[in-house]
């Protein structure tokens, strides 16, 4: 990981903590990812749709 250095008024250089930087990176990645919906098998959907109306008719 590349850490950015910040200059302070007195010319001191402060480096970010590794932990904070890694946490920030992880949080950003979490926000970007979307949960994928699980696709049902088409075969299962067809069988269910065919069975239900038959049961209702009886």
Q: How far apart are CA 37 and CA 39, in angstroms?
A: 6
Residue 8 has pLDDT above 60, yes or no: no
The confidence band for 36, taking pLDDT boundaries of 50, 70 and 90, is: confident
pLDDT confidence of residue 41: 62
Q: Is 16 exposed, middle or buried (0-12, 13-18, 19+ CB in 10 A)?
A: middle
Q: How far apart are CA 56 and CA 19, in angstroms?
A: 60
- Sole residue written with tokens 């979490």: 30
The confidence band for 37, taking pLDDT boundaries of 50, 70 and 90, is: confident
**What are the start-end ranges of the E strands in the chain?**
5-7, 13-15
pTM for the full model?
Answer: 0.19
Q: How far apart are CA 4 and CA 21, in angstroms?
A: 10
């Amino acid at each position: 990981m590349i850490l950015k250095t910040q200059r302070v008024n007195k010319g001191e250089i402060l480096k970010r903590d590794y932990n904070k930087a890694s946490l920030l990176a992880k949080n950003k990645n979490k926000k970007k990812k979307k949960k994928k919906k699980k696709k049902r098998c088409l075969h299962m959907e067809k069988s269910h749709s065919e069975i239900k109306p038959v049961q209702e008719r009886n």
